[in-house]
Chain A
Amino acid sequence: MSTAPLPSPSTGLAPGPSRPSLALGCTLLGVAIAATGALALSVGGVPLSPHELLEVLAGRVDGMAAVLVMELRLPRFVAGLLVGASLGLAGQLMQTVTRNPLASPGITGVVAGASMAVVMAQVGWRVDATWLPAIGMLGGAGAAALTFLLAARSGFSPLMLALAGMAVTALASALVTAFLLFSGAQAQQLYGWLAGGLQGRGWAHVGQILPWAAGGLVLSLATGRWLNLMHLEDSVARSLGGAVTLLRLGFVTLAVALTAASVAVAGPVGFIGLIAPHLVRLVAGVDQRQALPLVALTGALLVTLSDLLARTLAAPQELPLGLFTALIGGPLFIALIRSRTP
Chain B
Amino acid sequence: MTLSAHAGTPPQPYHTADSPARDRLGLLVVVLMGLVILGALANLLFGAVTLSPGRVWLALIGASGPAAGDPVAQDIIWNLRLPRLLLGALIGVHFAIAGSLLQAVMRNPLADSGVMGINAGASLAAVLAFAAAERLAGDGNPYLRAALSLDWLPLIACGGGLAAAAAVYRLSWNRGSTPVRLVLCGIAVAGLLSALTTGVLAGWAQATTETVLAWLSGSLYGRDWEHLAALLPWTAVSLILLPPLVRGGNLLQLGDDVAATRGLGVERSRFALLLVAVLFAASAVGIAGPVGFVGLIVAHVARLLVGPSLGRQLIVSPLCGALLVLASDLIGRVVLVPAELPIGVVTSLLGVPFFLALLARRP
Contact = CB atoms under 8 A, between A and B. Distances in A.
A270 B348 contact: no
Interface in B184-215: 184-185, 187-192, 195-196, 198-203, 209-210, 213-214
Contacts of B356: 146, 150, 164, 167-168
A171 B339 contact: no
Interface stretch (A10-18, A22-30, A172-180, A227-235): A172-180
A56 B47 CA distance: 63
Contacts of A334: 171, 185, 188-189, 192
A108 to B, nearest CB: 12
B178 A342 contact: yes
B192 A191 contact: no
Nearest to B292: A170
Interface string A184-197: 00011001101111
A214 to B, nearest CB: 28
Contacts of B363: 154
A194 B191 CA distance: 14
Contacts of B209: 187-188, 191
Contact of B203 (A107, A166, A320): A320
A194 B183 contact: no
Contact of A163 (B187, B196, B213, B342): B187
Q: Summarize B's interface: helix, strand, loop or mixed.
A: helix
B355 interface: yes
A203 interface: no
Contacts of A153: 360
Interface string A99-128: 000100011000000000000000000000
A337 interface: yes
Interface in B156-175: 171-172, 174
B344 interface: yes
B239 interface: no
Nearest to A174: B348
B359 interface: yes
A341 B184 contact: yes
A171 B348 contact: yes
Interface centre among B199, B293, B342, B345 (most CB of A within 10 A): B199
A101 B219 CA distance: 36
Contact of A106 (B110, B191, B339): B191
B186 to A, nearest CB: 9
Interface string A149-173: 0100110001110111011101101
Contacts of A55: none
Given A171-B352, A177-B217, A181-B217, A326 B195 contact: yes
Contact of B183 (A163, A187, A317, A330): A163
B262 interface: no
B97 interface: no
Nearest to A197: B202
Contacts of A322: 195, 198-199
Contacts of B184: 102, 158-159, 162, 337, 341
Nearest to A146: B356
Given A154-B363, A167-B356, A167-B359, A319 B217 contact: no
20 contacts: A150-B356, A159-B180, A159-B183, A159-B184, A160-B362, A163-B110, A167-B356, A181-B217, A181-B341, A188-B209, A195-B198, A270-B195, A271-B195, A322-B199, A323-B200, A334-B171, A338-B171, A341-B178, A341-B180, A342-B180
Q: Sort A-B residue pairs by CB-CB distance and give the 3 closest, nearest first.
A: A323-B199, A330-B192, A326-B195
Interface of B: 110, 114-115, 171-172, 174, 178, 180-181, 183-185, 187-192, 195-196, 198-203, 209-210, 213-214, 216-217, 292-293, 339, 341-342, 344-345, 348-349, 351-352, 355-356, 359-360, 362-363
Given A159-B180, A334-B185, 7 more contacts: A167-B356, A170-B348, A188-B209, A191-B209, A192-B202, A270-B195, A317-B203
Interface of A: 102, 106-107, 146, 150, 153-154, 158-160, 162-164, 166-168, 170-171, 173-175, 177-178, 180-182, 187-188, 191-192, 194-197, 270-271, 314, 317-320, 322-323, 325-327, 330-331, 333-334, 337-338, 341-342
